[in-house]
Amino acid sequence: MVRPSVPAADALIGVKRPVLGHGYVVLVDYMGNDAAIVQAARVSYGVGTKNVRDDRGLVRYLLRHRHTTPFEMVEFKFLVRLPIYVARQMVRHRSASINEYSARYSVIPDEFDLPLPEDIRRQSTKNRQGRGDALPDAVREKFRSDLDRLSREAYAAYEQALAAGVARETARLLLPLAYYTEWYWKIDLHNLLHFLSLRLDAHAQEEIRRYAVEIAAIARTLCPVAVEAFEEFQLDSVSLSRRERAAIRSLLEGASPEAACVRAGLPLTRPDGKPMTSGEGVEFLEKLERIRETDVSFVTE
Report pLDDT digits (tens) over 251-273. 999 999 999 999 999 999 988 88
| Domain extent listing, the chain | 7-105+180-235, 117-174, 242-292
Does residue 92 carry a catalytic annotation?
no
pLDDT in tens, 75-126: 999 999 999 999 999 988 888 999 998 888 889 999 999 999 988 888 877 7
The residue from 88, 199, 209, 270 that is catalytic is: 199
Q: Which amino acid is at 55?
A: D
Q: Cβ atoms within 10 A of the Cβ of 7, count?
A: 7
CA distance linking residue 243 with residue 264, whole number of Å: 5
Helix, strand and coil in the chain, % to nearest 5: 50, 15, 35
For the chain, give the percent of residues with pLDDT over 70. 93
- Maximum average pLDDT range among 40-54, 86-100, 167-181, 282-296: 167-181
CA distance linking residue 103 with residue 12, whole number of Å: 29
| Bridge partners, 121 (sequence order) | 134
Residue 301 clears pLDDT 70, i.e. is over it: no
pLDDT in tens, 166-198: 999 999 999 999 999 999 999 999 999 999 999
Phi-psi category of 220—alpha, beta or left, where left has phi over 0 and alpha has psi -120 to 50? alpha
- Maximum average pLDDT range among 91-100, 126-135, 220-229: 220-229
Cα–Cα–Cα angle for 283, 285, 288, rounded to 5 degrees: 115
Cα distances (Å, whole numbers) of residue 124 to 79, 89, 132, 203, 208: 32, 19, 4, 11, 18
Closest alpha carbon to 8 in 217, 184, 230, 226: 217
CATH code for residues 7-105+180-235: 3.30.1360.170
Cα distances (Å, whole numbers) of residue 126 to 132, 133, 202, 217: 8, 11, 13, 30
Closest alpha carbon to 45 in 57, 28, 62: 62
| Bridge partners, 183 (sequence order) | 80, 100
Whole-prediction pTM value? 0.87
CA distance linking residue 107 with residue 102, whole number of Å: 9
Confidence tier at 45 by pLDDT (50, 70, 90): low
Residue 210 clears pLDDT 50, i.e. is over it: yes
